[in-house]
Amino acid sequence: MTTTELPDKDEIDSSIKLISDNAQRVFLWNYDRSRGQLVALYNKAMASQWNSLTELDWATDVDPEELVATSPQQNATVKLARAAANLPGSPLAHWSEKEFIELGIESLKASLSQ
Domain ranges within the chain, ordered by starting residue: 64-112
| Mean pLDDT calculated for residue range 17-45 | 82
pLDDT of residue 69: 83
Residue 1 pLDDT exceeds 70: no
The pLDDT, as a whole number, for residue 14 is 77
Contact 81, 68 (CB under 8 A): no
Question: What pLDDT was estimated at residue 2?
Answer: 53
**Per-residue pLDDT tens over the stretch 51-109:** 888 888 888 888 888 888 888 777 888 999 999 999 999 999 999 999 999 999 999 89
Taking Cα atoms as reference points, which of 76, 84, 81 lies closest to residue 100?
81
Residue among 69, 72, 63 at smallest CA distance from 97: 69
* pLDDT score at 83: 94
Four-point Cα dihedral 86, 92, 97, 98, nearest 10: -170
Please tell me whether the overall predicted TM-score, pTM, comes out greater than 0.85 for this model.
no
Please tell me which residue, 97 or 2, carries the higher pLDDT value.
97
What is d(CA 72, CA 79) in angstroms, rounded to the nearest whole number?
A: 10
pLDDT band at 41 (very low <50, low <70, confident <90, very high): very high
